[in-house]
Amino acid sequence: MCISYGDNYLFKNDNKTLQYDYNNNSIFKNNTGEINQRRLPKAIIIGVKKCGTRALLKFISAHPDVVASMNEVHFFDQNYYRGLDWYRNQMPLSLSNQITMEKTPQYYIHNRSAYRMTQTFSNIKLKLIVIIRDPIIRAISDYVQLTTKRKSNLTFEDYVFIKNSTIINDKWIPLKIGCYYHYFTKWLKYYSFNQIHFVDGENLIKRPWEELLYVQKFLNLTIQIQQKHFYFNHYKRSFPCIRNQLYQTKNGCLGSSKGRKHPDIKQETRTILKNYYKTCNSRLKQIAQINFSWL
């Protein structure tokens, strides 16, 4: 039901009255006087692609004090020219006590994203979340997505190695991304350690409640998301799903494109890639001060 009052509109929704300002389509007010409007993010999941960014966003957005844009906004890498008002309008409505979030994995490897964020959030101590996983598994996941979209018959080894050899094709982007250290040093030029939190993507799949505990603490949230809120979808390689009142009418699992079956990879290939990533992993472990089991 909608009642017009000049430039304003009143909406009746779930026994609440929401006021809509026609001159500013981002502001709502309910009958308790709370202002619900589109705000810039206070936290951003900046990467890394194929490490669980979608799962992490879905899980943390189950917290009552978090609202998130479920679409990848790509503001700082692709849409920066559109301006700040455009960016704000991509955000969901939130209350002043809530944390607005977005996630765009491309930010992590994009050359200008870190600098642009510092310019945009000069007066806000933005919090950044980076989720990483075993770079070999990450590359395989990237390969699966790539071949599914292109319907390619090329094997993983066809992409990893230069033709008819065991020499690493280090120009293949899915391999380069796995050297997380290389990109992280660029972010440290603009952000301090206490503004960046690393999530273990391997542990997120096995024990998501542990990683969500750390994330909630990092964001200074009350601990609401716990082990009892998770269950596992055994039809998708035992991938975790969240059980929460937000998803009573929707599936708390990720979409069909997530948790795809990975192909068997030759042990020789794994050994070569493990050596390839050894230095990058060691440097990241040292500089980021993390101790994930697979590093």
Q: In what order do the strands lie in the sheet with 127-132?
A: 66-68, 99-103, 43-47, 127-132, 196-200
Catalytic one of 29, 42, 49, 50: 50
Residues within the annotated binding site for 3'-phosphoadenylyl sulfate?
A: 50-54, 133, 141, 258-262
Task: Output the CA torsion 35→40→42→44 (10° steps).
Answer: 140
Backbone angles phi, psi at 205, to 5 degrees: -75, -40
Q: Is residue 88 left, alpha or beta, with left meaning phi > 0 and alpha meaning psi from -120 to 50?
A: alpha
Q: How far apart are the first and last CA of the chain?
A: 56
Q: Respond yes or no: is residue 50 known to be catalytic.
A: yes
- Picking from 155, 112, 172, 180, the residue whose alpha carbon sits closest to that of residue 262 is 155
Residues within the annotated binding site?
A: 50-54, 133, 141, 258-262
Q: Where are the alpha helices (DSSP H) in the chain?
A: 53-60, 84-89, 113-120, 135-150, 156-160, 173-176, 180-187, 201-206, 208-218, 267-288
Q: Which residue carries 């879905």 as its tokens?
A: 58
Enumerate the active-site residues. 50
